[in-house]
Amino acid sequence: MLALPVELTHAQARACLNTLSLGVRAAAGAGVVVDASALARFDSAALAVLLALRRQCLALSQSFAVAHMPAGLADLATLYGIGELLGVAPAPSA
C-alpha cells in the first residue's frame, strides 16, 4: 500500500508523485492502493497526483484504489467531476 503524506499541496506534488510512482512500478502487476488517511492539508494538486497515479496504473494494467480518502478531498473530487475516477461514491439524491 502506498501512502499520501500529511500535506499535499502544489508545493509537494511533484516530489510526492515521483516517490509514489516508484511504488506503482514496484507493484509489478499487483493492484495499487493509496492510503490517504494521513492527509490533513491539501489542495487540488492532491487530486492531480491521484489522477496521475491512476493513469500510470492503467498503463501497467494494474488496478487502482484510494483508501481512507478525507471527506474534503472526496468533496473536491466530486465538485471537479472526477469522483468516479477515484472511487468516490456518488452522493445520494435528495
Would you kindly state where each structural domain of the chain is located, as residue ranges? 2-84
We find that the CATH architecture of domain 2-84 is 2-Layer Sandwich (3.30)
d(CA 54, CA 26): 15
CA 15 to chain centre: 14
Q: What's the pLDDT at 55?
A: 97
**Mean pLDDT score of the chain, rounded to an integer?**
93
Residue 32's pLDDT band (cuts 50, 70, 90): very high
Encode pLDDT of 55-94 as tens digits.
999 999 999 999 999 999 999 999 999 999 999 876 665 5
Q: Where are the alpha helices (DSSP H) in 1-94?
A: 10-26, 44-59, 71-79
Integer Cα distance of 16 and 5 in angstroms: 8
